[in-house]
Amino acid sequence: MDKIAVLIPCYNESKTVKKVINDYQAILPEATIYVYDNNSTDDTAAIAEAEGAIVRHEYHQGKGNVIRRMFREIDAEAYIMVDGDDTYPAEFAREMVDKVLECHVDMVVGDRLSSTYFTENKRPFHNFGNSLVRQSINTLFKSDIKDIMTGYRAFSYQFVKSFPVLSKGFEIETEMSIHAVHKNLLVENVIVTYRDRPEGSESKLNTYSDGFKVIKTIIKLYKNYKPFGFFSILAAILMLLSLGFFIPVFGEYLATGLVLKFPTLIVCGFVALAALISFFSGVILSTINQKNRQDFEMELHAIQREYNRIHTEE
């Protein structure tokens, strides 16, 4: 088991990967640096290997797929995950790792949004999207994570081995944040400076398509993690629609003694029934969700025993 593992997912980062590796070698000389190449068409893998990093390959395209393999294959007491584009300065890594090793923090978030992100990032829709996602998740999940989309994080062994990676692409950071909050894991923020990509280095993010994927992920995870809230909102919308169409029909009945829009009345009844079904579905699913949280706590105990066993053998 490594003391510290630096995880660098890369796709065509030949212009920056050397500097990223050298920076983390200087700041964390005791760390093992892993570069996971995700079908790069340039010299990323060769450069990383020449600089002393352990290079591995993930042929299933997408950042989420890369992180799934990293977390599955690497055992360490503390992990630092950083992008290979040289946008995150290495000097904050020691503080982030120390929070994991000394304070038993499960996930440390490298908070760009409280420092230089909005001045360094030249893509206004990215700035707006980051703020929107942060506000949405903190409101829906009653959390206080300062930067949801950051690619600069530190993790404990327990987090890495208990996190079920479901996302395939850049929405993985959103999934990590929601998982940590929902499972009551200890999360702390460390303010880090951010610098835009150097000239010649291109972002792999698509502002619109990846933005929609993130929004879709938030809605999906809210449904999965907060089913009572999700289905209660759906039930309220359906019931309001039902009442909205029923009130005029009922008013006509009071005035004339006749139901003049019988099909509308039938539809209102079915919509109201759907609202009730939605509400009780939320009740049932929230009970199942509570049982899943209890099972997760037992899984954490098993992971801790495995962690202790590995340490004893070493």
Backbone angles phi, psi at 228, to 5 degrees: -65, -45
- The mean-pLDDT minimum among 62-71, 135-144, 278-287 falls in 135-144
Burial state string for 32-47 with b = 16 or more CB within 10 A and e = fewer than 16: bbbbbbbebeebbbeb
Q: Which fold has domain 2-225?
A: Spore Coat Polysaccharide Biosynthesis Protein SpsA; Chain A (3.90.550)
- Give the SS3 label for residue 32: strand
Distance CA 194, CA 110 (A): 10
pLDDT at 122: 54
Residue 302 — left, alpha, or beta (φ > 0 → left; ψ -120 to 50 → alpha)? Answer: alpha
pLDDT at 136: 87
Q: Is the per-residue pLDDT at 4 higher than 70?
A: yes
Find the mean pLDDT for residues 272-278: 97
pLDDT in tens, 137-186: 888 888 889 898 899 999 999 999 999 998 888 789 989 999 999 999 99
pLDDT in tens, 28-62: 999 999 999 999 999 999 999 999 999 999 999 99
Residues 227-230: contacts with CB under 8 Å, at least 24 apart: 227/281, 227/282, 227/285, 227/286, 227/288, 227/289, 228/282, 228/283, 228/285, 228/286, 229/140, 229/282, 230/282
pLDDT in tens, 218-253: 888 899 889 999 999 999 999 999 999 999 999 888
What Å distances lie between residue 126 and 113, 193, 263, 264, CA to CA?
A: 11, 17, 48, 45
The mean of the pLDDT values for the chain is 89
Going by pLDDT thresholds of 50, 70 and 90, the confidence category of residue 201 is low
Q: Which residues contact 298 (CB under 8 A, 6 or more apart)?
A: none
What Å distances lie between residue 92 and 5, 88, 160, 173, 251, CA to CA?
A: 15, 9, 20, 19, 67
Assess contact for 120 and 195: CB atoms under 8 A: yes
Share of the chain above pLDDT 90, in %: 63
Distance CA 93, CA 152 (A): 9
Distance CA 267, CA 180 (A): 42
**Which residue type, as a one-letter code, is found at position 182?**
H
pLDDT at 126: 61
Cα 79–chain centre separation = 16
Backbone angles phi, psi at 167, to 5 degrees: -75, 150
pLDDT in tens, 109-137: 999 888 867 666 656 556 677 778 888 88
Tokens representing 108 are: 């440390």
**In the chain, where are the structural domains located?**
2-225, 227-313
Distance CA 260, CA 282 (A): 35
Q: Is the per-residue pLDDT at 194 higher than 90?
A: no
Q: Is the per-residue pLDDT at 97 higher than 60?
A: yes
Distance CA 173, CA 17 (A): 21
Q: Is the per-residue pLDDT at 27 higher than 70?
A: yes
Find the mean pLDDT for residues 19-36: 96
Backbone angles phi, psi at 82, to 5 degrees: -145, 145
pTM to 2 decimal places: 0.82
